[in-house]
Amino acid sequence: MSRARPYRAASWKPWVAPLIVCALVALFRIWWSVRGTPSPPAARLLAEGEYSVARVVDGDTLELAGGAMVRLLGVDTPETVAPNQPIEPWGPEAAEFTRAFIAGRPVRLSFDFERHDRYGRHLAYVWRETQLLNEELIRAGLTEAITVFPYAQPMKDRFRAAQREAKNAKRGIWSTPAGATGGSSTSASSDVDASTGGQATSGTP
């Protein structure tokens, strides 16, 4: 008959206590850093409706009263204020067209799938009564119709129709033999759609 072995308490390893303390300190630091770091605020969305325009930055960019910046969807007018870039042909005309369209009056903003570009500007359609500034800039030949980004197909169709009218009438950028000459719109073909990407990742400021 075998004899029961006497109970022997487990020996305490001297290195265990410092290891547990270090682990607890590390966990506390992680918890504190997460607790002390505020969550980034959600991007503010503008509601659809009327807004006052504080200034016209260039043909396709507005600053609203209150400081919000608006970038017109579906257009890319020639540059006039881009850092380290010369003023491009038809850029001043596009900026003046936008100023005349607004003429110190409130505009109505509406939006589409993408709400912000990579610079944090609000991507919008800009209306004055029933006239759409985005479309009128294209019709005047002051920008190509930029349809490579995801926004409503009916708007793309409207913009393409306005561009055909401008081309046929040889207005603005279409008045030269080379066709469109300004902005980054020449690299964003007017008649090619893409299912991904957006004005947030392409185009000039």
Instruction: Please compute Rg for the chain using Cα positions.
Output: 29
Amino acid sitting at position 6: P
Assess whether 99 carries a catalytic annotation. no
Assess whether 171 carries a catalytic annotation. no
Q: One of 88, 121, 135, 158 is an active-site residue; which one?
A: 121
DSSP string across 24-87: HHHHHHHHHHHHHSPPPPPPP-PPSEEE-EEEEEETTEEEETTS-EEEETT--PPPSS-TT-PP
Assess whether 79 carries a catalytic annotation. yes
Q: One of 8, 35, 44, 71 is an active-site residue; which one?
A: 71
Torsion of CA 142, 147, 152, 156, to 10 degrees: 60
Q: Could you give the residue numbers annotated as active site?
A: 71, 79, 121
